[in-house]
Amino acid sequence: MISFLVKRILSTLPVMLIVAVLVFLMLRLTPGDPAAIIAGDAASPENIAKIRESFGLDRPLVVQFGIWFGNLLTGNLGESYYFKKTVVELIAQRIEPTVALAGLTILIAVAVAVPLGVLAAWRMGGWLDRALMGFSVLGFSVPVFVFAYIIIYIVSLKLDLLPVQGYSRIGEEGFWQFLRHLILPSITLSVIYIALIARVTRAAVSEVLTEDYIRTARAKGLPEYKVLWRHAFANAAVPIVTVIGIGIALLIGGVVVTESVYGIPGLGRLTVDAVLARDFPTIQGVILLFSFVYVLINLLVDLSYVLFDPRIRY
């Protein structure tokens, strides 16, 4: 078990290294002076000279990567000349809203999608199943921001129930204000995630439902909810957890859009601001962070298989 853990954790290192190389190359393979690109449009000639010096930009590419990667390992993601802060400070400042938004979204998505998926598989071809499949195709097709505007229009503008946009930090105006500002963004963001999880749950559970032990469970007179929960769902858990992990990539893409629509000062909004300002150290930092989180979550998903399926032993 321990040796598997170590091996599995080590196996993410090459992926992370390749991500770092790609993010590094992205900038270097672009025509133009990398120092000027890193400095951004707002930089002075002294800034550019200083960057060329500190990044070793007049030295071979491998040395440049060494310097950059060395900084990365010591937690130095560089400095944003546009925001006049280090990238780490910027990220620290913006991370709370994103974590809150993503957390609430995952909570909503799992709570809605899993039971719906199980029920749809239970009565496959029934009205709930068909409605759910229709909804999921729609969920994959309606862009996040269009959906955002539809619910803003109904809930905020017509019914006046929740704020149109903005964010309230947890400690600022109390927990209710914090939650109120997050409800619409989380629902918006959860739509595509629900579509994805519900589809996979339905498929996984429906496959399990054809197993002999389901018939046995029913034959011994177990109530249907127990058959569904204890036997069908429990045995379908592995693919469901897997898709929750893979879906994080969708979620991250959605965060960028959702935060922009609702004016939430998180990492997604930071990404867009950084791109509009052509602030590359920040763009690189955010991409590295999001990729790291994505890989990490999928590592945890892998490790969690032991909890869901006792047949899997490492």
CB of residue 100 to other proteins, shortest distance in Å = 19
Residue 86 within binding range of other proteins, rule CB under 8 A: no
Backbone angles phi and psi of 160, in degrees to 5: 60, 40
Q: How many residues sit in the footprint of other proteins (CB under 8 A)?
A: 62
Candidates 5, 6, 21, 61: give the one binding other proteins (CB under 8 A): 21
Minimum separation from the CB atom of position 170 to other proteins (A): 26
- Candidates 182, 200, 228, 236: give the one binding other proteins (CB under 8 A): 200
6 binds other proteins (CB under 8 A): no
Q: Does 161 bind other proteins (CB under 8 A)?
A: no
Q: 225: which strand partners?
A: none
Binding span for other proteins by CB under 8 A among 43-51, 93-101, 105-113, 295-303:
295-303
Based on the shown chain and the rule CB under 8 A, indicate whether residue 94 belongs to the binding site for other proteins.
no
User: Considering only residues 275, 304, 308, 309, which one is a binding residue for other proteins as defined by CB under 8 A?
Assistant: 275
**SS3 per-residue string spanning the chain:** CHHHHHHHHHHHHHHHHHHHHHHHHHHHCCCCCHHHHHHCCCCCHHHHHHHHHHCCCCCCHHHHHHHHHHHHHCCCCCEECCCCEEHHHHHHHHHHHHHHHHHHHHHHHHHHHHHHHHHHHHCCCCHHHHHHHHHHHHHHHCCHHHHHHHHHHHHHHHCCCCCCCCCCCCCCCCHHHHHHHHHHHHHHHHHHHHHHHHHHHHHHHHHHCCCHHHHHHHHCCCCHHHHHHHHHHHHHHHHHHHHHHHCHHHHHHHHHHHHHHHCCCCHHHHHHHHHHCCCHHHHHHHHHHHHHHHHHHHHHHHHHHHHHCCCCCC
- Min CB(303)–other proteins separation in Å: 11
Q: Which residues pair with 80 in a beta bridge?
A: 85
Out of 2, 62, 73, 276, which residue is the one contacting other proteins (CB under 8 A)?
Answer: 276
Nearer to other proteins by Cβ, of 150 and 170: the residue is 150
Q: Say whether residue 162 binds other proteins (CB under 8 A).
A: no
Q: Are 126 and 132 in contact (CB under 8 A)?
A: no
Q: Determine, following the binding rule CB under 8 A, whether residue 22 of this chain makes contact with other proteins.
A: yes
Check residue 42 for interaction with other proteins (CB under 8 A): no
The reply to whether 143 sits near other proteins by the rule CB under 8 A is yes
Q: Does 124 bind other proteins (CB under 8 A)?
A: no
| Least distance in angstroms from the C-beta of 229 to other proteins | 22
Of 30 and 44, nearer to other proteins (C-beta) is 30
Angle (nearest 5°) at CA 221 between 216 and 222: 85
Does the protein bind other proteins through residue 314 (CB under 8 A)? no
Positions touching other proteins (CB under 8 A) are 11-12, 14-19, 21-23, 26-27, 30, 37, 137-138, 140-146, 149, 152-153, 157, 164, 199-200, 203, 207, 239, 242-243, 245-246, 249, 252-253, 256-257, 260-261, 271-272, 275-276, 278, 280, 283-284, 286-287, 290-291, 294-295, 298, 301-302
